[in-house]
Amino acid sequence: MNIIRVHGGHAIEGDVHVSGAKNSALKLMAATLLAPGTTTLTNVPNISDVHVMGKVLKGLGATIEVADEHTLIIDTSAVDSWEAPYELVAKMRASTAVMGPLLGRFNRAKIAMPGGCNLGARKIDMHILGLEALGVQFDTDHGYIHANAPEGLTGTMVSLEFASVGATENLIMAAVRAQGTTTIDNAAREPEIVDLANMLNEMGAKVSGAGTPVVTVEGVEELHPVVHQVIGDRIEAGTFIVAGALAAGDRGVAVTGFNPQHLGMVLKKLELMGVSYERVNGGVRVWRAEHLRPVDIQTLPFPGFPTDMQAQVMVLSALADGNSIITENIFENRFMFASELVRMGANIRIESHHAIIHGVERLSGAQVVSPDLRGGAALVLAGLVAEGETDVSAIHHINRGYERFVDKLTGLGAQVERASIPDPLED
């Protein structure tokens, strides 16, 4: 069994450069389906989710050349299938991102129900309702979603019940090839959506309002391939910023390669907790907080506090002087991480979608299991300041979204290593 072993109590300092954004790269890869020809994506993170999406595109008929570790040359000229292979797309929820581009290119798509982290129901009702308004007919059976627009896609007004990132992205990617104009009301505003809209516009699309609650898409006849750079990963950046707040030495930890404005609410909450930081070129420098203050947090769509940073900040709250409350409004199972942190000595009580955290003086190393992508990374962070050794298993979750996570931490001076131990479930 592969684990990440953390030896606690060692200060970290230095510089760390974050990779391209996972949640942007996956959707940009899907969007290449809309422009037959060769699109080049740079600053692509080398993570397992990107590898899976690459296999999905190849299964549809695309060819992918890895020019270097972070550059993909994707040729979608020969794509002739609208059926995404079940064994791949069932692995991650981002699989649904190919539905919009396939509908835009072929007016039909067959997609497996989404998988990924076990964070709760993967409701795609808003995707379906929005695309139905564009003229798509849906049928579901045997774990597949069949989508068909026999009369083609037609622009219209779509109002989303919730500012869903996935639904907004799928609607934008389908609408760029629809007849007429589509207006998406209550659209998600995440930076990754702005990145997608920017690339589509470079391809010849007419998308306006990305990053605001109202996005307008004027359909075009065709799109052309481009060269596009993926934005930096704000969640990876936030993870290393929390690492610095927990364990940075006198020089602090400089986290670069991202836009600090993309972490506005996170930085505001960290400041309220007593974390000191300063802006540097392309990022921020953060120092260890001597006395952490409690904080109340509610996860909300951007520009609110991101659900993907909730677990990392819970580690800080677990060591704060007082009681904190974290309210999870996005994923109902996101608190699975809390029970693992309790094994390390944290005092956390879960009540429905609230976590009540009573700060303790110290954490203790333990054997813990990564419950999901962000929770796994947060457990490694907890191990940095825990007494003794912490072994984090089920690290495949971490590999889905963090490139060279252990290497980057050791580059800062952390005593972290990958190791293999006997699986206790095997004879």
Residues taking part in catalysis: 117
Q: Distance between CA atoms of 145 and 337, rounded to whole angstroms?
A: 31
CA torsion 194→196→198→199, rounded to 10°? 170
Alpha helices in 189-233 (DSSP H): 191-202
- Helix axis angle for 264-272 and 234-247, nearest 10°, is 20
Q: Which of 413, 405, 408, 412 is nearest to 2 (CA)?
A: 405
Taking a C-beta distance cutoff of 8 angstroms, is the pair 366, 342 a contact? no
Look up tokens 């050791």; give the residue: 410
93 marked as binding residue: yes
330 marked as binding residue: yes
Question: What residue type is 51 in one-letter code?
Answer: H
Q: Distance between CA atoms of 200 and 223, rounded to whole angstroms?
A: 8
23 marked as binding residue: yes
Q: Coil, strand or helix: which one is 417? A: strand
Beta partners for residue 20, in sequence order: 232
- Transcribe 396-415 into DSSP letters: HHHHTT-TTHHHHHHHTT-E
DSSP class of 250: E
288 marked as binding residue: no
184 marked as binding residue: no
Q: Distance between CA atoms of 303 and 198, rounded to whole angstroms?
A: 19
Q: Which of 11, 72, 28, 45 is nearest to 258 (CA)?
A: 45
Which segments are annotated as binding site for UDP-N-acetyl-alpha-D-glucosamine? 93, 308, 330
Binding site members: 22-23, 93, 308, 330
Q: What are the binding residues for phosphoenolpyruvate?
A: 22-23
